[in-house]
Chains A and B, each alone.
Chain A
């Protein structure tokens, strides 16, 4: 069977695809729920993105190390437990060591347990490839998610609220609709269209 000797993609491609060609939000359209719910400002988007990034890398690392130990029949529960352990540990650590940051993102951290992007990277990649490519894959996917969250947050905050990072740019609120949940879907849709256009525009 060909996948016994499955080759991990080269590192450069690994790093690039999470960011652009397989961006979790714009390309794979996974984890759209938090992308809509949380990104009404840059700050929220950044905090959530950072938390997901950390959990993604750590979970990929764990699963890649123990991938030969995990039994096939119970692999999904085990992925969930691993993610939950990292999320809870991060929650506790942040609460104790960085209470200021925790008061900002504590609300979102617990949500990460159920993110589709993390579990799908574990199932697709970390459970099949060695340590280093898996960590790189987690790194780039998390970074891509972070990038998407910040981008959506920035667009919605500037256009919907007239501010960026809480600093007022313009007094009026140009498109108030964009800070509402429905506006999140519109922003993501338009960004997806723009990315598709950038990639395929020359040929179509």
Chain B
């Protein structure tokens, strides 16, 4: 029958092709074997092989080589691969798992010239490191930003600058989360936040409430109201300062309505890009609600 003969002919041709190419590929793999870093091979095995180029390299092989051979190539560039591939690549390439998470630096102080009291006039070498050696710096708060730009000089991405109000401002778009600014700060008030976060705490809150009140208008008095109000239990207090569990916060989602921000009496806990600015606080009214203070 005609149809069967077509099918058998196809079967024969295909099988022969299979033998031919199977042997050819095996022979090529054997004859032209190149010793490579076994990790490159392993990583390539875990990439999608779609060669889409979303990582910025010429295909999966090129990315696998780059991620193994160059320390600065991050392990989370494969977009089709997603989170699992990023983790596996990080492990195989010997990169810290922390790199997988996209982070951004944040200044945990909002003690601008308008809010924080000045204690002395500092005329020495204009660096934070030098100024902090002299009685902890010219400002009344010994934990706040000095505004002398040590971190700005440390930043290789031009993401930091001293803003209009005398403290550091960070451009989140330019910040790569490299963390070079963190050791540069003598006050240890720069922190890496996950790039996706919902609330920020703009004070390191290392002092007692009375001491904070005497020195700064925007200091955390560790009243702990926020901890009690948070439905996700994302905030915690370790007897020194307040910590935010961003994972828990993001996971809980927006249904809480940022209750912690609304209840905070000193504006240090705030939504993104909603820092209280000095103009707004020029004539604070006693007992005014926190709402409406944000831009």
List the interface of chain A (C-beta within 8 A of B): 1-3, 6, 9, 17, 22, 27-30, 72-74, 76-77, 116-117, 119-121, 123-124, 200, 202-204
Using Cβ atoms and an 8 Å threshold, which residues of chain A touch B85?
A: 124
- Asked if residues A73 and B49 are in contact (CB atoms below 8 Å), the reply is no
22 contacts between A and B (CB under 8 A): A1-B91, A2-B87, A2-B91, A6-B84, A6-B88, A9-B84, A17-B82, A22-B80, A22-B82, A29-B54, A30-B50, A73-B26, A74-B22, A116-B50, A119-B48, A120-B50, A120-B52, A120-B80, A121-B48, A124-B47, A124-B80, A124-B81
B197 CB within 8 Å of chain A: yes
B25 within 8 A of A: yes
**Which residue of A2, A28, A72, A74 contacts B88 across the interface (Cβ within 8 Å)?**
A2
Inter-chain CA distance A147–B45, complex, in Å, is 30
Q: Say whether A73 contacts B25, CB under 8 Å.
A: yes
Set B25, B50, B54, B79: member contacting A119, Cβ < 8 A: B50
| Pair B26/A76 contact, Cβ less than 8 Å | no
B197 touching A203, Cβ below 8 Å: yes
How long is the Cα–Cα vector from A203 to B87 in the complex, in angstroms?
24
Query: Once the chains are docked, how many angstroms separate the CA of A76 from the CA of B25?
Result: 12
Q: Counting CB contacts under 8 A, is B254 at the interface?
A: yes
Could you say which residues of chain A place their CB within 8 Å of the CB of B48?
119-121, 123-124
Which residue of the partner chain, among A3, A28, A116, A123, contacts B79 with CB atoms under 8 Å?
Answer: A28
Contact of A116 among B21, B52, B87 (CB under 8 A): B52
Chain B residues within 8 Å of A6, by CB: 84, 88
Q: Does B272 contact A (CB under 8 A)?
A: yes
CA distance A31 to B128 in the complex (A): 53
**0 or 1 for each of B49-87: is its CB under 8 Å from A? (1 = yes):** 111101000000000000000000000000111101101
CB-based contact B50/A3 at 8 Å: no
A29 contacts B52, C-beta separation under 8 Å: yes
Q: Could you tell me the distance between the alpha carbons of A123 and B87 in the complex, rounded to whole angstroms?
A: 17
Q: Contact between B29 and A27 (Cβ–Cβ < 8 Å)? A: no
Partner of B25, one of A17, A28, A74, A202: A74
Establish whether residues A123 and B272, one from each chain, have CB atoms under 8 Å apart when the complex forms: no
Q: Tell yes or no: B187 within 8 A of A by CB.
A: no
> Separation in Å of the B13 CB from the closest CB of chain A?
14
Contacts A2-B88, A29-B79 known; A77 to B197 CB distance under 8 Å?
no
CB of A30 within 8 A of CB of B80, answer yes
Give the complex CA separation of A117 and B79 in angstroms.
12
User: Which one, B26, B81, B88, B272, contacts A204 given CB within 8 A?
Assistant: B272
- Chain A residues with CB under 8 Å of B88's CB are 2-3, 6
Distance in angstroms between the alpha carbons of A199 and B220 in the assembled complex: 31
Please indicate the chain A residues that have their CB under 8 angstroms from the CB of B25 in the complex. 73-74, 77
